[in-house]
Every structure is written in C-alpha cells, then in structure tokens.
Amino acid sequence: MRIRFIRLSLLMFCLSMIAAAGLVEAADYEPHVGQDGKDVVWVPTCQELVDKMLDMAKVTPKDYVIDLGSGDGRTVITAAKRGARALGIEYNPDMVALSKRNAAKEGVTDKAQFKEADLFESDFSEATVITMFLLPTINLKLRPKILDLKPGTRIVSNSFTMDDWKADETATVYSLQENCGNYNTAYFWIVPAKVEGTWTLPQGRLRLKQDFQMISGTLESGATVAPVNGKLSGDQINFSAGNVSYTGRVNGSTMQGTAKSGGITTPWSATLVRKVFRVPPEKQGTSALPVRLNVTH
C-alpha cells in the first residue's frame, strides 16, 4: 500500500514537472522574423507604421478593428489602447498565445481578443476597420470579400496594394526610433457603395459605371446628355454632370443630397431602376460568357 502511494506520488510529481516545463517553454516562446506562416511568413509591422495605419483609418472607441494575420498582436493591442474593440485572426497557435500574453501585459485584455483561425475561413463582416500585412496575391484573393463589406468599412494594408483598386490614401513613415526597412508604406481604402446601373432623377436618367470608388456615366435630361464623373467614399457620392456638382448619400437603391450650380443649391434624389450585375472573375468562363449581365432591378 505504502509503495503504491510512493509510486503514485512520484508519478504526480513527474507529471507536474512536465506541465511546468511546458508552461515555461510557452511563456519563453520567441518568434523570429521571417518564420513560416500558413500563407505568409511573420514580419512585424514597425510600431510607427502601426500608429500611422490606425491614424489613416481614424480609429476611435466606436470601432471594431480586425487584423488579418495578427502576428504578435501589436496592431490589435494598439487599437485596443485607443479604446476600440479589436480582434486578431492568426493561424499560428504560439503567436496567438504570445499575443494574449502581450495584451495582458498592456492591460487591454477586455478590448483585445485573439482567435486561432485561418483568415480565409473567417468571417470579418462585422469589422469597421480591417488591417493587414499579407501579400499582393492574398490581398487580391480577399478583394471580392472586402468589396462586399459594408460601405464605409476602412481597410489599411502595410506595403501591399489591391492591384487596380487604387488606394484612397498612401502614407510612408521614416522612423528614427526603429528600422521599418522596406515595409514603411501603408495603403488605405474605403469600401465604396455599389451604384453601377441606371437611376431616375426628376431631371432625367443617370447611367453610372463604377470602377471601385470611381464613377462615370451620363445624365440624360430631354435631349441633353451631360457626361458624369465622380467618386464614392463609402456611402458618400460626389459627381459632376455638366456644370452641376452633386453630393449625396447612397442608401441601397436610393440616393439623395444637394446639387450646386451657379451658387444655387437644390435638393436631389434618385432611385435605382436597373442594376448592372457583374459576374465575379472566378465565375467567368473561358467561353463567350459576357463579362456583365444587365438585370432589371
């Protein structure tokens, strides 16, 4: 009986030593720059660029910031320190554990959350701000999902663009405190509302073509056809047609605002009558399938 008790105690002691060693090892985990990641290696964004990225997105306590591939958690923690709710999605479990420890050290565990997950399989539709430091190919792969986010969602990417979706703003930091290396430029976009199609206004028909945030088209009033050029910033629309400047807000299939011409400001509103449905690139066949289909709304 006594021998059995000693054996059991020895076993318990060994198990607790193994567990303690595991904990020490986890707490000592030190990532190294360039270490493998699922789809992209780990290179941290330098703190000055993290700050700049959050400045560009104008992060406030009202925001929900999601960092795709969150590394050691620095962007999430910085956003949380600004009072925002923030989530890091990271594939590497050691990095997730490290991020949680870093958030605890900075006293922001209530605002900074981390999830061990594949960013391609994660839902980030609730974010008001998305930050990322991935790769051009990954940005492009994520682009359709990003363009489907709520109009007005802000996106900031360290170093990598969105191909032909031109950034609304670009900024470069020249840090004296740390070496940002070649990764010192951030690109910023605002997800535009979808307005492509034909709209009716009391004064005529507005036909809009949309290339991301840029719009062009025509405004037909009777026999007059005025060229239209403008830009979207989230759900805010600005365009000129002839010598009239329109500003307004898009709300699904309606938009309204004010029009200015020769110092006179008048209200305007428009209703979508026909939306142009774009076939997503991955669904475009190599056959004679048209790139666009007109669908009556």
Ligand X SMILES: C[S@@+](CC[C@H](N)C(=O)[O-])C[C@H]1O[C@@H](n2cnc3c(N)ncnc32)[C@H](O)[C@@H]1O
> Where do contacts with ligand X occur on this chain (CB under 6 A)?
37-40, 42-45, 67, 69-71, 74-75, 89-92, 95, 118-120, 133, 158
Secondary structure (3-state) at 90: strand
Q: Which two three-digit tokens encode residue 247?
A: 């500003």
Distance in angstroms (rounded) separating the CA atoms of residues 165 and 168: 9
Residue closer to ligand X (CB basis): 42 or 239 = 42
Which runs of consecutive H residues, i.e. helices, occur in 120-233? 136-147
Task: Let me know: does 192 contact 234? Beta carbons within 8 Å.
Answer: yes
Query: What's the min distance (Å) between Cβ of 159 and ligand X?
Result: 9
Q: Which two three-digit tokens encode residue 57?
A: 């997105």
Residue closer to ligand X (CB basis): 97 or 214 = 97
Task: Let me know: does 153 contact 143? Beta carbons within 8 Å.
Answer: no
Query: What's the min distance (Å) between Cβ of 169 and ligand X?
Result: 18
Query: What's the min distance (Å) between Cβ of 92 and ligand X?
Result: 4
Query: What's the min distance (Å) between Cβ of 133 and ligand X?
Result: 4
Residue closer to ligand X (CB basis): 57 or 119 = 119
Query: What's the min distance (Å) between Cβ of 213 and ligand X?
Result: 25
CA atoms lying within 13 Å on the CB side of residue 13: 6
**Using CB atoms, what's the residue nearest to ligand X?**
69
Residue closer to ligand X (CB basis): 119 or 272 = 119
Residue closer to ligand X (CB basis): 59 or 195 = 59
Residue closer to ligand X (CB basis): 88 or 151 = 88
Taking alpha carbons only, the member of 154, 132, 112, 115 closest to residue 49 is: 132
Query: What's the min distance (Å) between Cβ of 67 and ligand X?
Result: 5
Task: Let me know: does 168 contact 210? Beta carbons within 8 Å.
Answer: no
Query: What's the min distance (Å) between Cβ of 21 and ligand X?
Result: 25
Element (H, E) at 81: helix 74-81
Query: What's the min distance (Å) between Cβ of 184 and ligand X?
Result: 12
Residue closer to ligand X (CB basis): 74 or 154 = 74
Distance in angstroms (rounded) separating the CA atoms of residues 17 and 72: 28
Long-range contacts of 54-60 (CB under 8 A, 24+ apart): 54/78, 54/79, 54/82, 54/129, 54/131, 54/156, 56/154, 56/156, 56/169, 56/171, 56/186, 56/188, 57/129, 57/131, 57/154, 57/156, 57/188, 58/154, 59/84, 59/129, 60/84
Distance in angstroms (rounded) separating the CA atoms of residues 38 and 47: 23
